Amino acid sequence: MESSSWTPRQNKIFEQALAIYDRETPDRWQNIAKMVGKSIEEVKLHYEILKEDVKRIEQGQVPFPYTGIALLFPYTSVNLLSADF
């Protein structure tokens, strides 16, 4: 588990930094750490945790929250498209 907490802003900067500094970038982790304001070790750990989260999601181990029309209209029939209006 991570030893430090990450703010939503730091997470967003982290995601942007990953896009800017790809695997081929020299000193990738140093650059990302500098952008985020974390140590290289913290950034690498955060990346490993992110990879594990993505893996679990792709394997269907993390349920997606249901968002959609049913939240706005909870009593609407599933067969809404076949209904006569």
Query: How far is Cα 67 from Cα 54, in angstroms, rounded to an integer?
Result: 20
Here the CATH number for the domain that contains residue 45 is 1.10.10.60
Q: How confident is the model at residue 73 (pLDDT cuts 50, 70, 90)?
A: low
Q: Is residue 46 in a domain?
A: yes
Instruction: For residue 24, give Cα distances in angstroms to 11, 16, 66.
Output: 22, 16, 38
pLDDT of residue 16: 96
Retrieve residue 59's tokens: 């394997």
Q: Is residue 82 in a domain?
A: no
Q: Is residue 75 in a domain?
A: no
Q: What is the 3-state secondary structure (H, E, C) of 38-73?
A: CCHHHHHHHHHHHHHHHHHHHCCCCCCCCCCHHHHC
Question: Is pLDDT above 90 for 61?
Answer: no
Q: What is the pTM for the complete model shown?
A: 0.67
Q: Is residue 35 in a domain?
A: yes
Domain that holds residue 18: 8-70
How many domains in the chain? 1
